[in-house]
Amino acid sequence: MSNTKPMPVKLLEWRAMERNTLRGFARVSVGALEITYVTVHVSGDRRWASLPAKPQIDKEGGVIKKDGKTQYAKVIAWLNKETQDRFSEAVIAAIEETHGPIG
C-alpha cells in the first residue's frame, strides 16, 4: 500500500465474475464522478482495478484480436501511476470491506 492519502472511493455495486485474471466488475464513485465497469483482476499475489476500456474495432467493424485476445483502447486514464495505484487500492479495499477477500 502506498504512503499517500487513500483515494475516497465509494463502492456502489459489485458483480463477481471469475475468468482468467478477472474477478469482477465494480461501479464506484470518486467524489461526484461515477465510474461503471471498473474491472478487478488478480494474478499471483498482484491485484489491481482498471478503468473502463472499449474493444478496438477495425475498418470493417470487427473486433481486433492479437494472439486470440481482444485488444482494448482506453476510454479514460489517470495521469500517473501513483494515482492509478491509489485508485486500485481504494476500489479493492471497498469491495473487500463489504464482500470479503478477492482472489
- Tell me the average pLDDT across 30-51: 96
pLDDT tens profile 49-99: 999 999 999 999 999 999 999 999 999 999 999 999 999 999 999 999 999
Q: Are 102 and 92 in contact (CB under 8 A)?
A: yes
Which residues lie closer than 8 Å to 45 by C-beta, 6 or more apart?
A: none
Query: Residue 11, Cα to own-chain centre: how many angstroms?
Result: 12
Q: Read off the pTM.
A: 0.86
- CATH class (in words) of the domain with range 9-99: alpha beta
> From residue 30, how far is each of 1, 9, 13, 70 by CA, in Å?
19, 5, 13, 28
